Structure 1
Amino acid sequence: MSLVKKFATVASGTLMSRALGFTREMFMAAALGTGPIADAFNAAFQLPNTFRRLFAEGAFNAAFVPLFSKEIEANGVEGAKRFSEEVFGVLFSVLLVLTIAMELAMPLIVRYLVAPGFADIPGKFDMTVRLATVMFPYLICMSLGAMMAGMLNSLRRYFAAAVAPVFLNIILIAVLAYAWYKGKDAYYVGYGLAWGVLAAGLVQLAIVWIAVRHAGISIGFRWPHMTPNVKRLLWLALPAAITGGITQINQLIGTAIASGQNSAVSSLAYADRIYQLPLGVVGVAVAIVLLPELSRALKSGNMVEAANLQNRSVEFTLFMTLPAAVALLVMSEPIVRLLYERGAFAANNSTPTVAAILAIFGLGLPAFVLIKAFTPGYFAREDTRTPMIFAAISVVANVAIALTLFPSMGAPGIAVASAVAGWLNAIMLLAVLVRRGHWGRDVPLLKRIPRLVLAAALMGAALYFGEHWFTVQLSSAAHLTTKAVTLVGLSAAGAVIYFVIAFAIGGADFGMIRRNIKRGNAKGSPAPVDTE
Structure 2
Amino acid sequence: MTQRDSTTQATVHNEGLFTKIAKATGGMTIVLTSIKILGFIEKQVLAYFFGTGYQVDAYFVGFSLMKVFWDFLRGLMSPSYLPTLIGFRGQVGEEKSWEFTSTILNLMTVVFVLIIGLALLFTSQLIHLVAPGFQSERFEVAVGLTRLMLTGAGFFAIAIITGLTLNSYKRFLLALMDDVVFKISGFLGLVLLLRYIGIYGLAWGIAIGSWIAPVLHLIGLRQYLPFYKFRINLRLEPVRKMFRLMLPLLVGISCIESRRLIDNFFASKLIIGSISALTFGYKLIEFTYVAIAEPLAVVVLPYFSDLALQKDHAKLTATLMPILRTVVLIFTPLAGCLFALRYPVVRLLFERGEFDATSTNLTVMALTFYAPGLVSFALDVILLRCYFSLSDTLTPAIMEVVTIVTHVTVIWLFIGTLDHGSIALAFTFSKTLKVVILFALLRRKIEDLHLRHNLWFLGKIALTVMIMIGILSGYQQIFLRIFDFPAFLLNAALIVSGGCLGIGIFLISVFVMKIEEVHLILQTSKQFLTSFRKSAQ
1:513: how far off?
Answer: 2.7
1:457: how far off?
Answer: 2.3
Unaligned ranges ≥5, structure 1 = 521-529
- Measure, in 2, the Cα distance between the counterparts of 1:269 and 1:463: 26
- In 2 relative to 1, CA 510–441 (structure 1 residues): closer, same or farther, beyond 3 Å? closer
Q: Is the 8 A contact 2:28 2:172 kept in 1?
A: yes
Please list the CA deviations of residues 1-38 of structure 1 after superposition, one character each: whole Å capped at 9, or x if unmatched. Answer: 52222322222222111121111111111111110000
- In 2 relative to 1, CA 332–218 (structure 1 residues): closer, same or farther, beyond 3 Å? farther
1:241: how far off?
Answer: 5.2
1:342: how far off?
Answer: 0.5
Partner secondary structure for residue 349 of structure 1: helix
1:213 and 2:193 aligned: no
Match of 1:400 among 400, 403, 409: 409
Q: Is the 8 A contact 1:270 1:354 kept in 2?
A: yes
Match of 1:386 among 386, 395, 401: 395
Please list the CA deviations of residues 327-365 of structure 1 after superposition, one character each: whole Å capped at 9, or x if unmatched. Answer: 22211111100000001111x721011011112101121
Match of 1:466 in 2: 475
Partner secondary structure for residue 355 of structure 2: helix
1:170 and 2:184 aligned: yes
Higher relative contact order (CA 8 A, sep 6+): 1
- Measure, in 2, the Cα distance between the counterparts of 1:486 and 1:203: 42
Unaligned ranges ≥5, structure 2 = 1-18, 529-534
1:116 and 2:126 aligned: no
Q: Is the 8 A contact 2:256 2:400 kept in 1?
A: no
1:345 and 2:355 aligned: yes
- In 2 relative to 1, CA 32–516 (structure 1 residues): closer, same or farther, beyond 3 Å? same
1:514: how far off?
Answer: 5.3
Partner secondary structure for residue 375 of structure 1: helix
Q: Is the 8 A contact 2:27 2:173 kept in 1?
A: yes
Match of 1:72 in 2: 89
Please list the CA deviations of residues 19-72 of structure 1 after superposition, one character each: whole Å capped at 9, or x if unmatched. Answer: 2111111111111111000000000100010121112x2112211110111122
Q: Aligned pairs, how many?
A: 509
Letter in 2 for 1:94: V
Letter in 2 for 1:481: L
Q: Is the 8 A contact 2:51 2:355 kept in 1?
A: yes
1:210: how far off?
Answer: 2.1
- Measure, in 2, the Cα distance between the counterparts of 1:163 and 1:497: 38
TM-score of the aligned structures, taking structure 1 as reference length: 0.89
Which of 222-231 and 9-18 deviates more?
222-231
Q: Is the 8 A contact 2:344 2:494 kept in 1?
A: no
> How is 1:205-244 mapped onto 2 (pairs within 5 angstroms)?
205-213=214-222, 216-217=224-225, 220=228, 222-228=230-236, 229-240=238-249, 242-243=251-252
1:281: how far off?
Answer: 1.9
1:493 and 2:517 aligned: no
- Measure, in 2, the Cα distance between the counterparts of 1:70 and 1:105: 40
- Measure, in 2, the Cα distance between the counterparts of 1:147 and 1:453: 40
> How is 1:322-333 mapped onto 2 (pairs within 5 angstroms)?
322-333=332-343
- In 2 relative to 1, CA 71–320 (structure 1 residues): closer, same or farther, beyond 3 Å? same
1:320 and 2:338 aligned: no
Q: Is the 8 A contact 1:88 1:222 kept in 2?
A: no
Letter in 1 for 2:412: L
1:94: how far off?
Answer: 0.5
- In 2 relative to 1, CA 11–303 (structure 1 residues): closer, same or farther, beyond 3 Å? same
- In 2 relative to 1, CA 177–320 (structure 1 residues): closer, same or farther, beyond 3 Å? same
User: What's the C-alpha RMSD, in Å, of the aligned pairs?
Assistant: 2.4
Partner secondary structure for residue 350 of structure 1: helix
Q: Is the 8 A contact 1:2 1:517 kept in 2?
A: no
Match of 2:150 in 1: 136
- Measure, in 2, the Cα distance between the counterparts of 1:266 and 1:74: 49
TM-score of the aligned structures, taking structure 2 as reference length: 0.89
1:453 and 2:462 aligned: yes
Match of 1:298 among 308, 321, 328: 308
Letter in 1 for 2:505: I
- In 2 relative to 1, CA 309–115 (structure 1 residues): closer, same or farther, beyond 3 Å? same
Letter in 2 for 1:106: T
Which of 136-145 and 84-93 deviates more?
136-145
Match of 1:43 among 61, 72, 88: 61
- Measure, in 2, the Cα distance between the counterparts of 1:122 and 1:49: 24
Match of 1:289 among 299, 312, 317: 299
Match of 1:6 in 2: 24
Letter in 2 for 1:51: F
Q: Is the 8 A contact 1:336 1:351 kept in 2?
A: yes
- In 2 relative to 1, CA 357–99 (structure 1 residues): closer, same or farther, beyond 3 Å? same
Match of 1:512 in 2: 520
- Measure, in 2, the Cα distance between the counterparts of 1:192 and 1:76: 46
Identity %: 21
